Amino acid sequence: MNLKQEIPVARLENTFFRIIDIADSGFELARDNHRHDFFEILWFTSSTATVHYIDFEPFPVESGLIYFMAPGQVHAYEGVSPSGYVVVFTLEVFSRIMDPQLRVLFNPFMNSGVRIGEEEKAVLMQLAELMAQECRGNKDFFILLYYLKAFLLHIARVHHDAVFAFDKAGQRMSLLFELLEGNFRRERHAAFYASALGITPKRLNEILHEKFDLTLTRILHTRLILEAKREIAYGRKSFKEISFELGFSDQAYFSRFFKVQTGMMPLEFRSRMFRLSESGTAKKASAV
């Protein structure tokens, strides 16, 4: 059995922004595991009796749910395409969104999506149409950026979870996730992140408990396992290489850590991903 199966990369080529009306364009969502090299907003306006997967975890396909994905996240969908919109844009666009309350929407710890009501849906529909019109016309970078920011601000405003509170603690959490992305492979101590945020480790964990009911250790473990799953599923590297790149000095310790966190050894997880990929390919072939 060949387990060296890479997860393909979906790329945003020859453009910096695109909005796709799933129903009108015939956009096909039925895809095996794939990664993005762009940011993506996935807004369902109808429901189907299936799920889609973000970083190997299942999430419902329901009307009114909006999901946010950052580059590198793994996505999969199989089933009848719902109606809705897909908005994709480059890192250059994202880097111009300076609001912490908007940037935090795309962090990999918050994949469960945001649910909007009918009143907010009408506003978002108008903004989606404005983005679509601009894409069909001049495709001005800054006009699309302002439409996108308005779109995200409306979503953040209706989401009342403490995670999205635009207070001092909320801003710190947004900065924390950026720090984690750049340092989680090597830095495992609260003191490093707390110092960068200008607070004590105790205060950092108090904020994390208030916002997420989590500790920094739990978040770091979650991020490490997420990266391990991505690398293992890609199939390009040996387990020894993966363990070293994630800051583990010993492959056996990495394997035990992975087993404790996921219930599977790395080889079991890679085999499972390969079987799912083979199954999806067989289904597509039989449907032709």
Residue tagged 């490490």 (tokens): 224
Highest mean pLDDT among 12-26, 51-65, 211-225 belongs to 51-65
- 20-29, 37-46, 90-99: which has the minimum mean pLDDT? 20-29
Is the pLDDT confidence value at 262 over 90?
yes
Share of the chain above pLDDT 90, in %: 47
Top-confidence residue, 31 or 139: 139
Is the pLDDT confidence value at 3 over 60?
no
- Provide the residue type at 218 as one letter: R
Is the pLDDT confidence value at 188 over 60?
yes
DSSP state of 8: P
* Predicted pLDDT at 286: 46
- Per the CB < 8 A criterion, the answer to whether 205 and 213 are in contact is no
For residue 142, what are its two tokens?
């800054």
DSSP state of 163: G
pLDDT grade, residue 69 (50/70/90)? very high
Is the pLDDT confidence value at 220 over 60?
yes
- Compute the C-alpha angle 118/124/125, nearest 5°: 85
Q: How large is the average pLDDT for residues 137-148?
A: 96
Is the pLDDT confidence value at 279 over 90?
no
**Contacts made by residues 106-110, CB under 8 angstroms, sequence distance 24+:** 106/39, 106/68, 106/69, 106/70, 107/70, 107/174, 107/177, 108/55, 108/70, 108/73, 108/223, 108/226, 109/177, 109/212, 109/219, 109/222, 109/223, 110/68, 110/163
Burial 65-85 (b: 16+ CB within 10 A, else e): bbbbbbbebbbbbbeebbebb
Burial 17-45 (b: 16+ CB within 10 A, else e): bbbbbbeeeeeebeebbebbebbbbbbbb
What sign does the dihedral 103-104-106-107 (CA atoms) show?
positive
Domains and CATH numbers, the chain: 9-160 (2.60.120), 168-287 (1.10.10.60)
SS3 at position 59? strand
Angle (deg, nearest 10), helices 216-234 and 190-197: 110
Is the pLDDT confidence value at 85 over 90?
yes
d(CA 203, CA 209): 10
* Predicted pLDDT at 166: 53
- Per the CB < 8 A criterion, the answer to whether 68 and 41 are in contact is yes
d(CA 139, CA 159): 29
* Predicted pLDDT at 276: 60
Pairing of strands 114-115, 65-69: antiparallel
Q: How large is the average pLDDT for residues 145-170?
A: 76
Rama region for 81: left / alpha / beta (φ>0; ψ in -120 to 50; rest): beta
Q: What is the pLDDT of the chain when averaged over all its residues?
A: 85
What sign does the dihedral 8-11-13-18 (CA atoms) show?
positive
pLDDT grade, residue 167 (50/70/90)? low
* Predicted pLDDT at 285: 43
Top-confidence residue, 80 or 68: 68
Summarize pLDDT for 108-134 with one digit per residue, the tens: 777 888 999 888 999 999 999 999 999
Is the pLDDT confidence value at 236 over 60?
yes
d(CA 217, CA 48): 37
Highest mean pLDDT among 128-137, 183-192, 232-241 belongs to 128-137
* Predicted pLDDT at 2: 42
